[in-house]
């Protein structure tokens, strides 16, 4: 299973108003383990950067002089993410900007989702922690991930942090309590436990065609026994 954790920085918040991507950072995961492969580029936007955006990421227009335009790295970018599952925090924002950049190049495909699928970790965090703050900083704190070097937002740094957050969020139950924030004896709140995966080789075993056929036969038997009331046949 190949995943690419992705983040971007932009000149502003509205791609429909002509704002552009000025930094893209990608980190590769294979079978839920970080590899050494990354993709990182600063990009020339051919427009000014909003002061509010610059306060967030600390990137000035002077820093981008001589950097490539998105059209120059589009083929490399699409090649890196093709066939992967993209892991993005607030995916609608990043995908919208990336699609706008791809449309400007005039090349096909003009959509990220034409070459890969997308998982939105913000939506996942909101399901896991309803009513709580689910920014990247808040999640780093919740899952005890060191983000002390995050003075400004940065696409590659944030992708690296998000990779750790995603693995922690989807790594299985860390406590027997049904409520992560339920107090332990003595009134202390249970802290999330970190799983040490150092040296762990996770095998991904795909079902054979025969096994898939047998599984479908069993589902049909259960469906028949319940007189068609099985939920997996009726849910979209």
pLDDT tens sequence across 156-204: 999 999 999 999 999 854 433 344 444 333 333 344 445 555 565 666 7
Helix (H, G, I), strand (E, B) or coil at 164: helix
Active site residue 153: yes
Q: Check the CA dihedral 51-132-173-83 and report its sign.
A: negative
Report pLDDT for 189.
39
Catalytic residue among 19, 89, 153, 215: 153
Which of 192, 181, 93 lies closest to 131 in space, CA to CA?
Answer: 181
Which of 111, 137, 170 lies closest to 56 in space, CA to CA?
Answer: 137
pTM of the full predicted structure?
0.71
Six-digit token string for 143: 């899952």
- The 10s digit of each residue's pLDDT in 106-135 is 988 899 999 999 999 999 999 999 999 999
**β-sheet bridge partners, residue 30:** 2, 33
Domain range summary for the chain, segments of one domain joined by +:
2-169, 208-236
Which of 81, 78, 67, 69 lies closest to 29 in space, CA to CA?
Answer: 81
Report pLDDT for 151.
65
C-alpha span between 150 and 37 (Å, rounded): 21
Number of helices (H) and strands (E), helices first, in the chain? 8, 5
C-alpha span between 143 and 118 (Å, rounded): 22
Considering the segment(s) 2-169 as one domain, its CATH architecture is 2-Layer Sandwich (3.30)
Q: Does residue 226 or residue 108 have the better pLDDT?
A: 108
Range from 23-32, 165-174, 216-225, 227-236 carrying the lowest mean pLDDT: 227-236
Count Cβ atoms below 10 Å from residue 132 Cβ, excluding itself: 13
pLDDT at 17 over 60: yes
C-alpha span between 44 and 46 (Å, rounded): 6
**β-sheet bridge partners, residue 5:** 27, 87
85-88 and 117-120 as β-strands: parallel, antiparallel, unpaired? parallel
C-alpha span between 95 and 88 (Å, rounded): 9
């Amino acid at each position: 299973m190949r995943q690419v954790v992705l983040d971007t920085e932009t000149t502003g918040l509205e791609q429909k108003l002509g704002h552009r991507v000025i930094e893209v950072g990608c980190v590769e995961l294979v079978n839920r383990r970080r590899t050494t492969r990354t993709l990182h580029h600063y990009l020339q936007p051919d427009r000014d950067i909003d002061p509010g955006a610059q306060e967030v990421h600390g990137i000035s227009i002077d820093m981008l002089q001589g950097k490539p335009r998105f059209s120059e790295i589009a083929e490399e970018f699409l090649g890196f993410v093709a066939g992967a599952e993209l892991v993005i925090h607030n995916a609608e924002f990043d995908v919208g900007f990336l699609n706008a950049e791809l449309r400007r190049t005039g090349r096909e495909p003009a959509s990220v989702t034409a070459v890969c699928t997308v998982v939105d970790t913000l939506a996942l965090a909101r399901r896991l922690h309803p009513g709580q703050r689910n920014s990247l900083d808040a999640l780093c704190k919740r899952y005890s991930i060191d983000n002390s070097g995050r003075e400004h937002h940065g696409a590659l740094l944030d992708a690296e942090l998000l990779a750790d957050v995603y693995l922690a969020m989807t790594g299985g139950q860390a406590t027997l309590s049904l409520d992560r924030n339920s107090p332990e004896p003595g009134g202390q709140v249970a802290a999330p436990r970190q799983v040490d995966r150092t040296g762990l080789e996770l095998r991904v075993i795909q079902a054979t065609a025969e096994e898939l056929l047998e599984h479908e036969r069993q589902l049909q038997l259960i469906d028949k026994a319940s007189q068609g009331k099985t939920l997996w046949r009726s849910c979209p």
